[in-house]
Amino acid sequence: MSDPRPIGVFDSGIGGLTVVKALRDLLPGEKIFYLGDTARVPYGGKSASTVERYSLEIAEMLMEENAKTVVVACNTASSVALAKLEKHLPVPVIGVIRPGARAALATTRNGHVGVIGTRATIKSGAYERELRALNPQVRVSVCASPLLVPLIEEGWLDDELTDRVIARYLGPLVHQGIDTLVLGCTHYPLLVHAISRALPKTVSLVDSARNCAMAVKKLLVQSHLSAPAGNSAGLDIALTDAPDIFLSVARRALRLEIGNVQLREVLHSAPIAAR
């Protein structure tokens, strides 16, 4: 069995294109429809109830595109809205937190994992809960890193100021003895080289974007949803507001072939009927 429908991916903005890049590399035969809620970015500073509502509205728009699965390429939405999406969507849903947590536990040698992310992601405690559910003995140290996303969106990927901010955030985690660091925001893989420079060689990085893509591949195979051979693969991108400078930053840094970007108005409709 196979399924030619697109994989639906959404994020609060354009940072989720790191997940799209990983999906394109891992699943070149799949069609992807990416929806960035740029009209309401960032989700990281919003309340949990607001993020839930936004996520359901964006997911409904992906259902209008006939998506066969929904990938929540946003750590904030994954941390507070995943359960609601799983309940209401008629297709499988994958977030970035569980795959990242599993990869971190497979990577750590001393059982001490660090996590950086937006304030909302860190405040939710989602990574700590997932890590400890998988391994109650794991030690977890977290750090909200709200300045990193604006620096990335300015395109300051290799800049002295960015290096100093990263060092300020990561210093305490390194001092506490982590040997594994989860990049708990889909923007952060764009800073992987700068982050690596700030860490001792004994600390391993876990990219939640790539691990999410690997989880999607496994789901498609297990659910018989993989695209048929010779499928007309491609990438469609839609945003809820005109793109800013970050789209060009993402295009250049990720080397993604991004064609015409569609603009879509957010659907403020009743929640999707529970399956």
Give catalytic residue positions. 74, 185
SS (H, E, C) the chain: CCCCCCEEEEECCCCCHHHHHHHHHHCCCCEEEEEECCCCCCCCCCCHHHHHHHHHHHHHHHHHCCCCEEEECCHHHHHHHHHHHHHHCCCCEECCHHHHHHHHHHHCCCCEEEEEECHHHHHHCHHHHHHHHHCCCCEEEEEECCCHHHHHHCCCCCCHHHHHHHHHHHHHHHHHCCCEEEEECCCHHHHHHHHHHHCCCCCEEEEHHHHHHHHHHHHHHHCCCCCCCCCCCEEEEEECCCCCHHHHHHHHHHCCCCCCEEECCCCCCCCCCCC
Asked if 28 contacts 231 with a C-beta cutoff of 8 angstroms, the reply is no
Query: Within 10 Å of residue 204's Cβ, how many Cβ atoms?
Result: 18
